[in-house]
Amino acid sequence: MINITLKPKKEETLKRFHPWIFSGAIEAIKGTPEEGDVVRLVDNRGNFLALGHYQIGSIAVRVISFDDRPIDAEFWEEKIKRAYELRLALQLIHGANNTYRLIHGEGDTLPGLIVDVYGDSAVMQAHSIGMHHARTAIASALKKQVPDLNNIYYKSDTTLPYKAPIEKEAGYLLGGESTGIAIENGLKFHVDWVKGQKTGFFVDQRENRSLLEKYAKNRSVLNMFCYTGGFSFYAMRGGAKLVHSVDSSSKAIELTKQNIALNFGDDNRHEAFAEDAFKYLDTIKDKYDLIVLDPPAFAKHRGALRNALQGYRKLNAKAFEQIKPGGIIVTFSCSQVVNRDQFRLAVFSAAAQSKRVVRILHQLTQPADHPINIYHPEGEYLKGLVLFVE
Ligand code: SAH
């Protein structure tokens, strides 16, 4: 295993268990590691610090172990066992719910790895070459540790670093036949992990959707950026008067319609439209008294922060202008680089522009199966506000 020596004092973040080493912290590399190799990090006196996956880029190493141990089948099994036991303790694995995130990168001390489970199927994404190289070992460990798993779909063709000199890959590592139906809090969803976005479904909104259900009774609901319709189903079940689902992707709208039919049959309270959010929101004066705004990440990196904040302000300003008095806005940001205060400030500016009385009812975050490693605050990405608008 190749040793990487850090510059003096650069070991301090590792001693506080932060799992990233930036390239500027490196003093010397003994040998020439390939991207994705497991390397040993040592301080400038040669003392062991951690093991991690080597990467080319500003983050040079992502730590997978603070113990000096072999990275073998037992290693992957232990990690997955612990993650599975946590989800069991969270009561996410039972009849009415079989959809959960099993591995959440740094939050499960496995930077670069995401695994979502839908009943008997797991969808795995590698965001680093190190995890890509380990994919078959990880799949074997999943098979061993997660009961009743029949399919493992590996989907890393869009998530691996752009410049990596490897073949991008998507396909089954186990099984290959599944109904593709996931159950979340008793609601059924077709999940298309092969063609859909991310792992096929946004598992991270489960609790926020449940909260919305409580507020939906007799309301006219707009679910903007609906994707496969998540928030719409909960609104329907919660007794909404009408539910309109909007997304710019016509494929997403098709999936939403299918999913509504799967749960509610031919229920004419629901309609779905393939339209652009910014245009649609200009034409809905007093039409809705519950609006959900769950846009894609407006900023994927630091450089895009300013524009992203403006985007959130503009989007929310439209909702404040249009919503019926006494209405509720449920608004989110899933951009990792936008922090909670920045998002709140953007929404505050939007509210002020509308001159309406606005009160914060709830402050929302990601659910417990997307845990935040306390040593890696960057892991907190989902922020939401429930607002009452007079
Ligand atoms: N709320 C969803 C997840 C939203 S993901 C859920 O609970 O599952 C973001 C969605 O925004 C994607 O489906 C994407 O197609 C859609 N989108 C992106 N840009 C858009 C735009 N300008 N107008 C409308 N929808 C847009």
Q: Which residues contact 106 (CB under 8 A, 6 or more apart)?
A: 19, 373, 376, 378, 379
Phi-psi region of 36 (alpha: psi -120 to 50; beta: other; left: phi over 0): left
* First vs last C-alpha separation in the chain: 63
pTM of the model: 0.95
Architecture of domain 73-184: 2-Layer Sandwich (3.30)
Q: In terms of C-beta density within 10 A (0-12 exposed, 13-18 middle, 19 or more buried), how is residue 186 classed?
A: exposed
Please write the tens of the pLDDT for every residue from 25-83: 999 999 999 999 999 999 999 999 999 999 999 999 999 999 999 999 999 999 999 99
189: exposed, middle or buried (C-beta count within 10 Å: 0-12, 13-18, 19+)? buried
Please state the CATH superfamily assignment of the domain spanning residues 202-389 in this structure.
Vaccinia Virus protein VP39 (3.40.50.150)
Domains of the chain: which residue ranges?
2-65, 73-184, 202-389
Residue 1 tokens, joined: 């295993």
Nearest ligand 1 atom to alpha carbon 292: 1
How remote is the CA of residue 21 from the centroid of ligand 1, in Å? 33
Q: Cα torsion at 132, 138, 139, 141 (round to 10°)?
A: 180
Rounded distance from Cα 168 to ligand 1 centre (Å): 25
Tokens for 97?
A: 């719910």
Query: Which CATH architecture is the domain 2-65 placed in?
Result: Roll (2.30)
Residues with CB under 6 A from ligand 1: 202, 205, 225-228, 230-231, 247-249, 252, 276-277, 294-296
Residue 54 amino acid letter: Y
Average pLDDT over residues 74-95: 96
Q: Render pLDDT for 264-323 as a digit per residue (tens, 0 to 9).
A: 999 999 999 999 999 999 999 999 999 999 999 998 888 899 999 999 999 999 999 999
Q: Looking at ligand 1, which atom is closest to the CA of residue 209?
A: 7
Which sign does the torsion angle of CA 371, 333, 303, 159 carry?
Answer: positive
